[in-house]
Amino acid sequence: MRDLDEQVLVTCEHASNRLPAGFQLGAELLKLHIAWDPGALAIARYMARRFAAELWQGRYSRLVADLNRTEGNRVLMRQVSDGHPIPFNRGLSVSDRAKRLDTYYRPYRDGVVAAADALIAAHGRCVHICVHTFTPALAGNERGNDIGLLHDPGWGIERAVCDDLRRHLDHETDYVTWFNRPYSGTADGILPAMRLRYDPAQFVGIELEVNQKYAGDSRQLRQIAKAIADGLAASPSLIQS
């Protein structure tokens, strides 16, 4: 039997819409999803407390450097996001981009890797729970799920864990839970990059995507976080493997 409390790492890449000193953008734009994932940090904090886990959270807006994209991705520093120009990302030189990465991106990504390495060295496995939220509609199309469980179906026990978790959520709650929606669990992001570093027996990565229609309701966010945490804690695939 595994002790899950000794294996969990929680991250929240889009936790904040703050900007560093010297960066400017309209306050109304900073409230939008282009700048952060509202509601995600509350869920991540609950998960970290529940499992006595280390929590890594982004300090600044995703517009400064998107911590959930890999180096070389053209949208890591977006010049335009959802039709909105991002002035501080325009005209960046190669050295400007390198400095931005060294200051705001690499310390976070390197820290997450070090935390995962430490769990694997001490306990044989890292269960990385990555917390994000998504907009209720995109391009006029309503998204039908409340919770998305993003994973790589071909990687270790990730699909089995998500099966366990969805059964729990379907039985215990009324939330609509889908696999790899509204995004693919294998698209560019921190978890696919982490999987490249480890053996499937050492690393389990699940990205939680929660509908932002709940972002302004702290009670609902806590209820969602508790339901997910309860499901993970009871997952036979995590406990017995």
Where residue 71 sits, what CATH number does that domain have?
3.40.630.40
How much is the pLDDT for 1? 55
Host domain of residue 26? 4-240
Please state the pTM of the whole predicted model.
0.97
User: Which residue spans within 18-144 are E strands per DSSP?
Assistant: 54-57, 80-81, 84-85, 126-134, 137-138, 141-142
Instruction: Give SS3 for 182.
Output: coil
Q: Count of domains in the chain?
A: 1
Q: Where are the alpha helices (DSSP H) in 66-213?
A: 94-100, 106-123, 158-172, 190-195
Q: Has residue 108 got a pLDDT over 80? A: yes
pLDDT digits (tens, 9 = 90+) for 42-52: 999 999 999 99
* DSSP designation for 68: T
Q: Has residue 34 got a pLDDT over 90? A: yes
Q: What percent of the chain has pLDDT over 90?
A: 95
Q: Has residue 2 got a pLDDT over 80? A: no
Q: Has residue 31 got a pLDDT over 60? A: yes
pLDDT digits (tens, 9 = 90+) for 182-233: 999 999 999 999 999 999 999 999 999 999 999 999 999 999 999 999 999 9
Mean pLDDT of the chain: 97
Give per-residue burial for 7-36: e unless 16+ CB within 10 Å, then b: bbbbbbbbbbbebeeebebeeebbeebbbb
